[in-house]
């Protein structure tokens, strides 16, 4: 290349760079100009686009705003597409509650490995099982349930909306499970909190066979693709047997009965070889509650009563004591209190254990006084800030706590428990997020029982 050609090339490059710089400055001025004048029209523009949003858009926006606001763009002239919102929500669901930023990427799976671990079962110990006494620093006096139930209260507030949400969101979840877009882990996550039980109850409530098909899908995901291949060795917080029990009792599926027996023997903390000292702390209250219910369900289906059952009930009562009497628990989470209460209610239905009613009254009053957020219509997630969650209200967990208050109303006829039940249900209906399977299930898995208890129908 000649010297003259090199000079011409250099001049061309300089002109190109100068022209780019001028263009960039102009674009920056235009952007600044638009930003200054767009503020005047932001309210009208937001209102215009909000009118075009579907309910699904709004539910996704609400969930992201509450739990993962850092995932939403700081500014956007147009609403995000539903597809993008779903991806953001799915990403949010993998983060610990209370997160303020994206964590460092990790290869750890978010769904427990369904394959059994060879070293999971603990060798049998020779020491006999002993009941764990409930601390009695503050005496709990026995309260005798009254013999009759008053006239049922009027229908709970927003009952029509509750039914509409159930059908609309339930169909969305079921149709998603029918499709092929979800991974195996996503399908399993979508039936967490006993999706089989939820769909069976909706089928019974609506008398629509569509929901029985949904129940079959949930059963194939949880029982056939998870519990059975794992030979029952699943984590304690994945031990769901209400749906399997009802599937056998209502439809005669022997495989569901056998899966209940399997979980009662081999799920984490259900095996006789698991040291009882492992579950004394309230941090494993959820696992104790699920194990109690699994033992009771297995007994309903013909298995003999487990010697560990009354011992775990003693531990569950001790957990309530740690939370609300001794007050030495590391933290309190209302949904865990609710799960413990529900297990004790099931045990009371079989044994009429006189300790349970006064203990649950202490739990209900202590929880309401310290954890209920009136203007949010929800309980706090935790009573303090922790790495896994803080004091943010969580209305989508309300219905896991509601049975505690509706049962107390059915037993005591005290009006305050009815008022609290209705507030809990109203908060769930108005502010609960139902677009994901887990949240939908936790909002409806105990909802029908709450209604029955609210109307004075005690569990048998």
Please state, in angstroms and rounded to a whole number, the distance separating the CA atoms of residues 224 and 256.
Answer: 9
How does DSSP classify residue 225? I
pLDDT in tens, 1-14: 565 555 555 555 55
Alpha-carbon gap, residue 396 to 414, rounded angstroms: 26
Dist CA 125 CA 118 (whole Å): 18
Element (H, E) at 379: strand 378-379
Distance of CA 218 to the CA centre of its chain: 16
Q: How many CA atoms lie within 13 A of 356 on its CB side?
A: 22
Let me know if residue 285 belongs to a domain. yes
Specify the residue for token string 């979980």: 263
Query: In this structure, is residue 348 part of a structural domain?
Result: yes
pLDDT in tens, 180-194: 899 999 999 999 999
Decide if 119 is inside a domain. no
* Residue-number span of the structural domain to which 334 is assigned: 159-454
Whole-number Å distance between alpha carbons of 260 and 243: 10
Q: State how many domains the chain has.
A: 1
Say if 103 falls within a structural domain.
no
Is 397 inside a domain boundary?
A: yes
Q: Look at residue 38 in the predicted model and tell me its pLDDT.
A: 40
Which pLDDT value is given to residue 252?
A: 96
Residue 117 lies in a domain: no
Between these two residues, 171 and 17, which has the higher pLDDT value? 171
Spatial distance between the Cα atoms of 55 and 75, rounded to a whole number of angstroms: 21
SS3 for 336?
A: helix
Round to whole Å and give the CA distance between 159 and 149. Answer: 22
Q: What is the full DSSP assignment across 97-145?
A: TT--SPPPP----SS---SPPTT-SPPPP-SPP-PPPPP-SS-----PP
Is residue 150 in a domain?
no
Whether 85 maps to a domain, the answer reads no
Mean pLDDT of 124-144: 41
pLDDT band at 171 (very low <50, low <70, confident <90, very high): very high
Q: What is the mean pLDDT of residues 261-282?
A: 96
The highest-confidence range among 23-32, 78-87, 397-406, by mean pLDDT, is 397-406
Per the DSSP assignment, residues forming a β-bridge with 389 are: 386
Residue 30: predicted pLDDT: 38
State residue 153's pLDDT score.
74
Q: Tell me, what's the pLDDT at 294?
A: 98
Can you tell me the mean pLDDT for 80-86? 67
Six-digit token pair at 183? 């991974």
Is residue 194 classed as helix, strand or coil in its secondary structure?
Answer: coil
Query: CA–CA separation, 82 vs 54, rounded Å?
Result: 9
0.75 surpassed by pTM: no
User: What does the pLDDT read at residue 218?
Assistant: 98
Above 70 in pLDDT, residue 340? Answer: yes
Region 178-207: what's the mean pLDDT?
96
CATH number at residue 445: 1.50.10.10
């Amino acid at each position: 290349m000649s010297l003259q050609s090199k000079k011409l090339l250099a001049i061309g490059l300089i002109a190109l760079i100068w022209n780019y710089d001028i263009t960039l400055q102009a674009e920056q001025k235009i952007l600044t100009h638009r930003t200054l004048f767009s503020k005047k029209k932001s309210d009208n523009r937001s209102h215009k686009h909000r009118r075009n949003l579907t309910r699904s858009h709004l539910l996704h926006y609400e969930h992201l705003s509450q739990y993962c606001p850092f995932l939403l763009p700081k500014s956007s002239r147009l609403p995000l597409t539903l597809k993008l919102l779903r991806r953001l929500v799915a990403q949010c669901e993998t983060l610990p509650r209370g997160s303020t930023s994206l964590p460092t990427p990790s290869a750890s799976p978010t769904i427990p490995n369904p394959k059994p671990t060879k070293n999971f079962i603990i060798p049998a110990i020779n020491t006999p099982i002993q009941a764990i006494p409930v601390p009695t620093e503050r005496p709990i006096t026995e309260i005798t349930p009254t013999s009759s139930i008053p006239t049922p209260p009027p229908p709970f507030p927003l009952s029509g909306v509750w039914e509409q949400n159930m059908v609309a969101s339930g169909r969305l979840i079921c149709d998603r499970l029918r499709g092929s877009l979800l991974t195996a882990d996503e399908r399993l996550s979508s039936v967490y909190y006993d999706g089989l039980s939820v769909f069976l109850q909706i089928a019974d409530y609506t008398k629509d066979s569509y929901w029985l098909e949904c129940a079959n899908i949930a059963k194939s995901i949880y029982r056939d693709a998870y519990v059975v291949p794992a030979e029952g060795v699943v984590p304690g917080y994945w031990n769901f047997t209400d749906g399997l029990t009802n599937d056998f009792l209502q439809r005669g599926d022997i495989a569901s009965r056998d899966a209940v027996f399997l979980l009662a023997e081999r799920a984490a903390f259900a095996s006789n070889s698991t040291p009882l000292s492992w579950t004394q702390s309230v941090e494993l209250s959820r696992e104790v509650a699920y194990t109690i219910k699994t033992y009771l369900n297995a007994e309903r289906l013909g298995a003999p009563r487990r010697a560990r059952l009354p011992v775990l009930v003693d531990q569950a009562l001790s957990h309530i004591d740690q939370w609300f009497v001794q007050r030495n628990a590391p933290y309190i989470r209302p949904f865990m209190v609710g799960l413990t209460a529900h297990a004790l209610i099931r045990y009371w239905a079989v044994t009429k254990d006189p300790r349970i009613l006064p203990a649950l009254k202490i739990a209900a009053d202590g929880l309401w006084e310290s954890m209920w957020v009136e203007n949010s219509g929800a309980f706090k997630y935790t009573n303090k800030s922790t790495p896994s969650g803080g004091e943010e209200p969580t209305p989508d967990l309300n219905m896991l706590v509601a049975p505690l208050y509706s049962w107390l109303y059915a037993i005591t006829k005290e009006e305050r428990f009815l008022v609290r039940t209705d507030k809990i249900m109203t908060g769930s209906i108005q502010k609960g997020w139902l677009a994901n399977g887990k949240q939908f299930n936790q909002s409806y898995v105990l909802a029908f029982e709450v209604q029955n208890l609210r109307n004075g129908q005690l569990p048998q």
